[in-house]
Structure 1
């Protein structure tokens, strides 16, 4: 049976012994000469009866598959009860990262202090427009709609592109693939000349195909690197608040406490997104209420005039005054959008509407209010910018805010951890990652998964980063590169999807590039300036992961090509069946291979070393298609291997005996 990731099982049933041709083998009903069995739900135009009169329309495995709870998924649900529940869960899973950014953004931006009072307005204006353009306009309004049947992330974009154009490198071009309802390739048309030209050039260029796969792997590697750095900087920045409460709290003790918290966080991942989300969401809601409330308090008490930062003129003035220093400070401003990629990477756990609701109604207003309040406070306390967050809290609320901040920082790590599990699951289905255990943690929401091996690798990475870098400033240099690099790769894929799939007007595509892509590349240039100050870390992670993924994908495709080139011919099958030196026995033998067609070479190797054949031999292959989900009624494909007359000949021999 297919996994939600789009696998499709092909069972080739052979009866070389001829003694058993009945349909009692694991509930499989045999079909003569490659005829396919479709269940009751098969559309009329695909009905087997229209091609093969008298063919039975379903078998036991199809009936069993249709009983799986929740197999239709929750992504297209119109039940507002489900949508609102998922929106509530998403607050606890997706937004902890971007919600805890106020802990360190201003201190990371003004590393050398505030030189001019209006610099605060310039940075606040940068933060406002950056959050509005990238998380809201780019992701909430555009990127979320580029999902692959409910799944998000870099590999989802690649899968969507492969399904709509012949640019994939995985073996998925057999005729039966086209019968999967959501795998249909669009026929050429003249409605959009630009789209047709781009599509044709991609399909005809091997370099473009390898480049797309390489970018998908690189984007995935960066998101995984983000999943290592997010817990480290979030927890470390929150625990650092203890320095305000007691002078005995040294840097070493803060690091030890942070490591203990991180280990505990990864230990609870096995309970799944569903339980973790319900547990974390109330805490994050309290956190957003606190930072919004404190923001309003500081805004009114200190300087309400910071509201004029909505005028982008202050950004221009900020760059005029500070020049190169202003450009370097963008590496701190970009931390305001950390965790944005999680909205898309975690989409498989939730729905588009649920994430749009939680972002628009809760997250965006709260963080904009928080940054505005801190800016108001800084206008009167510019010399305390290094500890902006904790210094700006009213004294009576210090301990409650500190406790919630630590809990929120722990939760902030959840966004990229869940996103990492999702994209690893997608890369597995495309043969781009070593096979690991994927645990589906929810019976209701099939996109929610947990991968034990990756969980422990992430935990080890977080502990090493926290223990080595020890301060948020050093981790922030690396963090900014991982965040913005992954987002620029997503933008690149999105431009191709706009042209090839959506057939967006070229003027709108140019507007997207001009506004969104130019903003991201400006930030990328700023964070790369700090490459030697810790920025090399995400590239080191990506290099290791890329080596693993590229090697695995190369071997995966080489193995498939070998089996395809050396599959056993029909003549060889006839020789094996009629060979008197090969004995026949009862029972069932099952062979697994990557081939969806023909007999794999392992069968010939088996016969040469074990000269005996079972009465029923089944060849099974589990095939991954570049689609998010295969409908249960389309997940099984059965065909006979041996020609009909061979079975008749064997039965005649048995009747003579």
Structure 2
């Protein structure tokens, strides 16, 4: 049961004398209440201008390392075979300028950033935002109460509203549409993982290659091995997190932007001011006329100028929209554009140096400072993408798309900064292998571009759904957004796919493997959930179940983890059949991840009584947002005990309230009709006597209830001191005998391999081994 207070601020409390002044309501639907949490202002949602400017400065170091280091390799990737016509530089520069304006500036900075999920961004945030307005999730713990979030009836009927309702109904009624949206989301996640693997390779290799300017005898193989050493170091220190060195990020990247802007301005003045003509988009038309198919193919190199753009959106939860807009338009855009303009001016005079444009164009006195800062900037760019990849994967884990692996939160300040050991090892190994195998930035760039453009395209499609269903924009604006950005990205994607054999296949291999793992785990996760749901024991049979097995109570607190939020899971009857004993205080514990970033600590736990009160068996749902961290075992047990005691107090308040209401009803029923006026004195005496008896009875109820509550709370404290035991079902899932060959391969081999070889659930939930008891059970699906 839950306690509702008329105070809009909410909160839990009650009991004793204050209970009489509270409006008490009983809620019997834990299934529905588990979805309901209050809103809240999340990090970065609002703030003063001073704070916004501070966040804008911090954002420079966190989210712009990747896009800021793109000048290291864009021209060399665009002209892998050299520059044929000098005027091609004007066309390519114009393409770079307008690509930076169209995709990161217009699309992301001024549109996509506003589609955040309570301050959080990224592909998964878009998916979870849509899922709260339309029932499109395949994850089984979505309740019918979700529709309360997307109640359109309070709005005045308009053509946009009707269109939104129609589109929402089509999404909810189409299983194909739900699967398509889920597939797009996990594809986007896979591509971000590919991005996180390739960013260190291309950034570090590009930066290290500059040393050949001062050491021309150095071979490409030696450059590769120096890069591998830096990559090994980079992935080795991930476990320490970025928080300890976070304050150095913004100054280093800021110095980097000052350097590249200054060098760009120097080259522009010294070599060819005429390249400013590239702001005229007509040079793009001339470029394609002159080069035809080769010009179209070169777009695969041009698109690398916007690598890392998705990071602006994915890392939004650390900052706010205004801060990102200020830092992009005020710092990143002018610095990077000046750098590209300067490089074009230099190449107009020295086109033969296009293979190493960046380092060749640096004035001699600035070479070593720029080289050192370039190495640091490349490492920071890699660090930011890795942190973003870990954060996105942690959200995928919370939504049941991957096995439970250990997620370590490395920062107390930034909740999105996480570290996943298994994933870090696999990404580090893949990054090193890619560097050794491909050897040059041009080959890696072919793969890198596909990750970038595919993520852009997925964001465009999900954003279109947001504009239709949630924002309810006029169809003209929706079509304009979809056509302009969708067409631009499709042109780039078609170009870069032409380099499929030259390395473009790599991200598809990554995506195919990761999507297969995610889809397999999610499929079995859903099937297993519904199997358990079909075999639950009704809660009202708890007493009969305990008596049938002659169960005895033992000291301590027992927590049985289950994904179900109603009924008794099938593993419990098996447990008491094999070991007929239950802890003095026993809880069916469900960890529920809601499609929102954060759940306030005060709303973390929901409790229900299972069976008679004297049995002290409860159901508890612990609710977390996809960006929330699970508490440490001691903190979790302490927090759980406190909330359980508060729940006991609330239950006493309910019981007291019910008893007083019954007593008042009985008093009203027993009171005699008012006699004639001359008998007023005796009547008053009679009513006073009745009220006195009622007051005495109410006082006894209050005293007894308070005494019971105190005894129960003392009992909880004693049992917690005696020890907390965590019980988990060790479920072996296998395909039924009549299943298809594909289903048997998916369930019996791929799923089983993942379950046995990745971190076990108790480690992901931070459960101490010496307090864990596993109960084996086999499901056939």
TM tier, smaller: 0.7 to 0.9
1:452 paired to 2:418: no
Q: Secondary structure at the match of 2:470?
A: helix
Q: Distance in 2 between matches of 1:237 and 1:401?
A: 13
Q: Distance in 2 between matches of 1:479 and 1:370?
A: 21
The within-5 A match list for 1:384-403 is 384-403=353-372
1:647: how far off? 8.7
Structure 1 residues 638 and 51: CA distance shift in structure 2, 3 A? farther
- Report the counterpart of residue 121 of structure 1 in structure 2: 90
- Whether the 8 Å contact between 1:348 and 1:422 is mirrored in structure 2 is no
Structure 1 residues 378 and 492: CA distance shift in structure 2, 3 A? same
Q: Secondary structure at the match of 1:615?
A: strand
Match for residue 641 of structure 1 among 595, 605, 610: 610
Q: Distance in 1 between matches of 2:11 and 2:392?
A: 35
- Report the counterpart of residue 24 of structure 1 in structure 2: none
1:612: how far off? 2.6
The within-5 A match list for 1:592-611 is 592-611=561-580
- Report the counterpart of residue 711 of structure 2 in structure 1: none
Deviations 1:219-267 (A, max 9, x none): 0000000000011011101111122112221111101110111122223
The within-5 A match list for 1:496-507 is 496-507=465-476
Instruction: Compare CA radii of gyration and give the structure with the larger one.
Output: 2
Match for residue 358 of structure 1 among 317, 320, 327: 327
Structure 1 residues 387 and 446: CA distance shift in structure 2, 3 A? closer
1:79: how far off? 3.7
1:270 paired to 2:251: no
Structure 1 residues 233 and 585: CA distance shift in structure 2, 3 A? closer
Q: Distance in 1 between matches of 2:404 and 2:606?
A: 23
1:623: how far off? 0.6
Q: Distance in 1 between matches of 2:558 and 2:337?
A: 64
- Report the counterpart of residue 187 of structure 1 in structure 2: 152
1:481 paired to 2:450: yes
- Whether the 8 Å contact between 1:598 and 1:641 is mirrored in structure 2 is no
Q: Distance in 1 between matches of 2:95 and 2:509?
A: 30
Q: Distance in 2 between matches of 1:404 and 1:635?
A: 45
1:37: how far off? 4.1
The within-5 A match list for 1:218-367 is 218-367=187-336
- Whether the 8 Å contact between 2:196 and 2:385 is mirrored in structure 1 is yes
Deviations 1:604-632 (A, max 9, x none): 11111112333332111011111122233
Q: Distance in 1 between matches of 2:560 and 2:532?
A: 13
1:567 paired to 2:540: no
Q: Distance in 2 between matches of 1:279 and 1:376?
A: 32
Deviations 1:445-502 (A, max 9, x none): 3333232332222211111111111111111111111111111111110111111111
- Whether the 8 Å contact between 2:3 and 2:12 is mirrored in structure 1 is no
Q: Secondary structure at the match of 1:296?
A: helix
| Segment drifting more, 565-574 vs 226-235 | 565-574
1:436 paired to 2:405: yes
Q: Secondary structure at the match of 2:243?
A: helix
1:305: how far off? 1.5
Q: Secondary structure at the match of 1:268?
A: helix
1:36 paired to 2:2: yes
Q: Distance in 1 between matches of 2:301 and 2:469?
A: 35
Deviations 1:531-578 (A, max 9, x none): 011000001111111111111111221221122111112454232233
1:130 paired to 2:99: yes
Structure 1 residues 44 and 225: CA distance shift in structure 2, 3 A? closer
Runs of 5+ in structure 1 lacking a partner?
1-34, 58-70, 649-657
Q: Secondary structure at the match of 2:245?
A: helix
1:273: how far off? 3.4
Q: Distance in 2 between matches of 1:635 and 1:177?
A: 18
- Report the counterpart of residue 31 of structure 1 in structure 2: none
1:554 paired to 2:523: yes
- Report the counterpart of residue 110 of structure 2 in structure 1: 141
Q: Distance in 2 between matches of 1:195 and 1:624?
A: 27
Q: RMSD over aligned Cα, in angstroms?
A: 2.6
- Whether the 8 Å contact between 1:384 and 1:391 is mirrored in structure 2 is yes
- Whether the 8 Å contact between 2:135 and 2:172 is mirrored in structure 1 is yes
Q: Secondary structure at the match of 1:622?
A: strand
Q: Distance in 1 between matches of 2:54 and 2:407?
A: 25
Structure 1 residues 517 and 95: CA distance shift in structure 2, 3 A? same
1:213: how far off? 0.8
Structure 1 residues 51 and 223: CA distance shift in structure 2, 3 A? farther
Q: Secondary structure at the match of 1:613?
A: strand
Q: Distance in 2 between matches of 1:357 and 1:401?
A: 25
- Whether the 8 Å contact between 2:4 and 2:24 is mirrored in structure 1 is no
1:151 paired to 2:120: yes
Q: Distance in 2 between matches of 1:126 and 1:309?
A: 9
1:90 paired to 2:64: no
Q: What is the TM-score when the length of structure 1 is the normalising length?
A: 0.86
Deviations 1:485-535 (A, max 9, x none): 111111110111111111111111111122211111100000000001100
| Segment drifting more, 290-299 vs 245-254 | 245-254
Q: Distance in 2 between matches of 1:387 and 1:582?
A: 77
- Whether the 8 Å contact between 1:167 and 1:202 is mirrored in structure 2 is yes
Q: Distance in 2 between matches of 1:164 and 1:252?
A: 53
- Report the counterpart of residue 699 of structure 2 in structure 1: none
1:96: how far off? 1.1
1:41: how far off? 7.2
Q: Distance in 2 between matches of 1:413 and 1:444?
A: 20
The within-5 A match list for 1:507-586 is 507-570=476-539, 572-579=541-548, 581-586=550-555
Deviations 1:338-392 (A, max 9, x none): 1111111222333323222221111111000000111111111122222211111
Q: What is the TM-score when the length of structure 2 is the normalising length?
A: 0.73
Deviations 1:90-134 (A, max 9, x none): 222211111111111111111222222221111010000000110
- Whether the 8 Å contact between 1:147 and 1:157 is mirrored in structure 2 is yes
Q: Distance in 2 between matches of 1:412 and 1:359?
A: 16
Q: Which of the pair has the greater relative contact order for Cα pairs under 8 Å at 6+ separation?
A: 1
Match for residue 379 of structure 1 among 348, 365, 370: 348
Structure 1 residues 37 and 381: CA distance shift in structure 2, 3 A? same
1:580: how far off? 7.0
1:428: how far off? 1.4
Count of equivalent residues: 597
The within-5 A match list for 1:199-214 is 199-214=168-183
Q: Distance in 1 between matches of 2:518 and 2:163?
A: 33
